[in-house]
Amino acid sequence: MFVGGVTVSNATLHNQDEIDRLGVKVGDYVIIRRAGDVIPQVVSVVQAKRDDNVKDIVFPTDCPVCGSNVEKLEDEAVARCTGGLICAAQRKQALKHFASRKAFDIDGLGDKLVDQLVDADLVHSPADFFNLKLGDVVGLERMAEKSAAKLLLSLEASKATTLAKFLYALGIREVGEATAANLALHFETLEAIRNASEDELIEVQDVGGIVAAHLHNFFNEPHNTDVIDALLEAGINWPAIEKKPQSALPLDGKTCVVTGTLSEMGRSDVKAKLQLLGAKVAGSVSKNTSFLVAGEKAGSKLTKAQELDVEVWDEAKLLAFLAEHD
């Protein structure tokens, strides 16, 4: 089809809401335009050309790639597969996230190597990383025997982690490092998180209804729980969380903000540690801020803190405080 000076072979319908609004069906004739003179878009149905052979467009309840449940929240337009750990359509990105520095931090397992392992049909889920043998890896691009042996040692070392990092590595939608840390601190065990209801999940700091639904759907998808069980069987472990009464935590009742570049720790790690010590970590400075952690190149947040006479911690003071309360 020739539209606006270009040949168009495909046009997007976006989502179920848009399909319902247009009333479009399989077999219909439609009007196409180039939205913003760029994106091919279906704008209306040619009702005069509709015949009796048209069919309703029905969204799948199961992912056509991996068979996992499809999630569509009430206030969202997009339907998504919940099989993030095993779905072939999401596999490479899920595995790269799992191996990333802020997750399992597997030294030597970069994006290109993940691509090779998947393309060679050696890895289908994160648990498969820990079943790799020397012969599987030797011969891949830039992987001689010494490099392969080093990778296997890194995989073995990465088995010792924390519950918070394990949760973050799973790639659950909208569960970042801070949320993962809050979940770990609140529930203390993986089993408690897996069995939690949405109402129980909402009780966690910074977990609202949408995130609670993502968590509940993720842990109720059998494909995901199978991979989690396989990871535990492979030897993934973490120390038990010794939860102290909130009132006994040194930063109980304190609100802090972290800004700038820190040389020893990432900001997300700092936030997680401060939360474990009882602090509420906010995104902006206000008169209610107890202190600001300011790394290098701290900008407007530092300026505002100084204007409001908020206490400012440099990285040295932060590290000393964390060491004292480790």
pLDDT per position as a tens digit, 188-201: 999 999 999 999 99
| Cα–Cα distance measured from residue 9 to residue 304, given in angstroms and rounded to the nearest whole number | 53
Task: Dig out the tokens for 219 from the structure.
Answer: 């842990």
Q: Which residues, 6+ apart, have CB-to-CB distance to 33 below 8 Å?
A: 3, 4, 40, 41, 43
Task: Dig out the tokens for 101 from the structure.
Answer: 């520095």
User: pTM here?
Assistant: 0.69
CB 83 within 8 A of CB 92: no
- 66 in any annotated domain: no
CB 290 within 8 A of CB 274: no
- 125 in any annotated domain: yes
- 76 in any annotated domain: no
Where is the domain boundary, 234, 263, 278? Answer: 234
Q: Structural domain of residue 268, as residue ranges?
A: 255-324
How many residues are listed for the chain in this entry?
Answer: 326
Give the residues of the chain that fall short of pLDDT 50: none
CATH number at residue 109: 1.10.150.20
Q: What pLDDT shows up at residue 245? A: 66
Number of domains comprising the chain: 4
- 242 in any annotated domain: no
Whether residue 172 sits in one domain with residue 116: no
Whether residue 138 sits in one domain with residue 109: yes
- 32 in any annotated domain: yes
Q: What pLDDT shows up at residue 244? A: 63
Mean of pLDDT over the chain: 89
Where is the domain boundary, 56, 73, 102? Answer: 56
CATH number at residue 310: 3.40.50.10190
- 117 in any annotated domain: yes
Whether residue 141 sits in one domain with residue 101: yes
Q: What pLDDT shows up at residue 306? A: 95
CB 265 within 8 A of CB 321: no
Whether residue 151 sits in one domain with residue 174: no
- Residue 145: strand, helix, or coil: helix
- 300 in any annotated domain: yes
